[in-house]
């Protein structure tokens, strides 16, 4: 046997061993992920109402009483849980609903999930089936702003006010040239991450990444473990990927065509006014300035959606204003609640 034949045999054996190892790791990851997901469903039951919308269920986390109901639509790939810290203050004055879109949080998945229009229709069906009557003060954060716009444009009589919290704009994909590529890269990274192995690393104490990411959302301490379970969920990841894909394809078209205006519905646009990145990283400073040179005019353009609108800039806050300046977001929402009640009068 010559040297080339021996070398080729070694390469073949090594390649076969590598492939077998990858398959074994993938199988172990899938098995552990299935076990972990079932365990999490038992450990973290839904805190709200599971509402049937035609063969599948939407989770509405409700609190408080009274009208108008505040309905919160979180951002891209986010469950209602991410807004739970604001529930106590809002629920003191009115009823509040945190909306889990299909596949996110506790809501059942749907093969048609992802589009803003589909999410708006799911929300309407869920509110109706749950007996949560209009009028609504709709609050949409980031990509949730597109859903709030579509809901309000299609059912203006049910909407008393809209609050857009650093909302997406249908032109951002076109004007922020790197956004589409950044979302696509994040989708690929997420898809290639073996969740079972990541779950095992967290459970075994080898990695605290999942906890650090959950803590960064500034949730109530009692909800951290629930958020970690969502982050390690296949169902959550699939829904997140569908929403990301729709955000750079169909959603801008839907919003432009179906929600070009909100008429005279009272509207408050709350926009980020972040400080420049700390330190002397000139590249980071330049990148942030470039981004906001486009983003800020888009936010100002959202004010033109309604003839009855105001613009609030949240100083010292980034994109997640409800984390950085929760008191401001609560004040804006409750101002609308009080105005609606005042206009309705004592018998309203």
Report pLDDT digits (tens) over 118-143.
999 999 999 999 999 999 999 999 99
- Residues 6 or more apart from 79 whose CB is under 8 A from it? 100, 104, 105, 106, 230, 236
In the chain, the number of structural domains is: 1
Residue 72 DSSP symbol: E
Residue 313 clears pLDDT 80, i.e. is over it: yes
Task: Specify if 179 maps to a domain.
Answer: yes
Domain containing residue 81: 49-185+230-343
Which tops the pLDDT comparison, 125 or 241? 125
pLDDT in tens, 75-107: 999 999 999 999 999 999 999 999 999 999 999
Query: For residues 333 and 345, what is the distance between their CA atoms, to the nearest angstrom?
Result: 19
Task: Specify if 138 maps to a domain.
Answer: yes
Q: What is the pLDDT of residue 175?
A: 87
Query: For residues 116 and 122, what is the distance between their CA atoms, to the nearest angstrom?
Result: 10
User: Among candidates 272, 274, 268, which has minimal Cα distance to 322?
Assistant: 272
Task: Specify if 19 maps to a domain.
Answer: no
Task: Specify if 210 maps to a domain.
Answer: no
Task: Specify if 196 maps to a domain.
Answer: no
Task: Specify if 348 maps to a domain.
Answer: no
Q: What is the pTM of this model?
A: 0.87
Q: What is the pLDDT of residue 171?
A: 94
Residue 41 clears pLDDT 90, i.e. is over it: no
Task: Specify if 221 maps to a domain.
Answer: no
Q: Which of 156-165, 205-214, 299-308 has the lowest mean pLDDT?
A: 205-214
Collapsing DSSP to helix, strand or coil, 161 comes out as: strand
CATH number, domain of 100, equals 3.40.50.1820
Residue 56 region, left (φ>0) first, then alpha (ψ -120 to 50), else beta?
Answer: beta
Q: Environment class of residue 128 by beta-carbon count within 10 Å: exposed (0-12), middle (13-18) or buried (19+)?
A: middle
pLDDT tier, 248 (very low <50, low <70, confident <90, very high otherwise): confident
Q: Is the peptide bond before 135 cis (omega within 30 degrees of 0)?
A: yes
């Amino acid at each position: 046997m010559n040297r080339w034949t021996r070398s080729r045999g070694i390469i073949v054996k090594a390649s076969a061993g590598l492939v077998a190892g990858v398959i074994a790791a993938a199988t172990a990851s899938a098995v552990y992920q299935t076990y972990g997901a079932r365990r999490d469903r038992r450990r973290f039951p839904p805190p709200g109402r599971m509402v049937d919308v035609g063969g599948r269920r939407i989770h509405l986390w409700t609190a408080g009483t009274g009208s108008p109901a505040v309905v919160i639509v979180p951002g891209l790939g986010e469950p209602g849980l991410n807004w739970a810290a604001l529930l106590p203050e809002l629920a003191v004055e009115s009823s509040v609903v945190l909306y889990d879109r299909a596949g996110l949080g506790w809501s059942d998945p749907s093969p048609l999930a992802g589009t803003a229009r589909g999410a708006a229709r799911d929300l309407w069906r869920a509110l109706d089936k749950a007996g949560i009557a209009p009028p609504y003060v709709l609050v949409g954060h980031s990509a949730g702003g597109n859903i709030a716009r579509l809901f309000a444009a299609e059912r203006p009589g049910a909407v008393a006010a809209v609050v857009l919290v650093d909302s997406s704009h249908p032109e951002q994909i076109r004007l922020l040239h790197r956004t589409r590529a950044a979302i696509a890269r994040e989708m690929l990274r997420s898809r290639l991450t073996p969740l079972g192995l990541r779950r095992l690393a967290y459970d075994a104490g080898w990695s605290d990444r999942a906890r650090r990411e959950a803590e960064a959302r500034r949730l109530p301490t009692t909800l951290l473990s629930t958020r970690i379970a969502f982050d390690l969920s296949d169902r959550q990841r699939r829904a997140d990927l569908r929403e990301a894909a729709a955000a750079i394809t169909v959603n801008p078209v839907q919003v432009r065509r179906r929600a070009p205006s909100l008429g005279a519905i009272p509207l408050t646009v709350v926009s980020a006014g972040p400080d420049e990145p700390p330190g002397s990283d000139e590249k980071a400073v330049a990148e942030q300035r470039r981004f906001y040179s486009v983003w800020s005019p888009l936010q100002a353009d959202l004010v033109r959606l309604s003839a009855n609108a105001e613009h609030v800039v949240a100083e010292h806050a980034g994109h997640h204003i409800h984390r950085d300046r929760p008191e401001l977001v609560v004040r804006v929402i409750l101002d609308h609640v009080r105005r609606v009640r005042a206009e309705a009068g004592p018998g309203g």
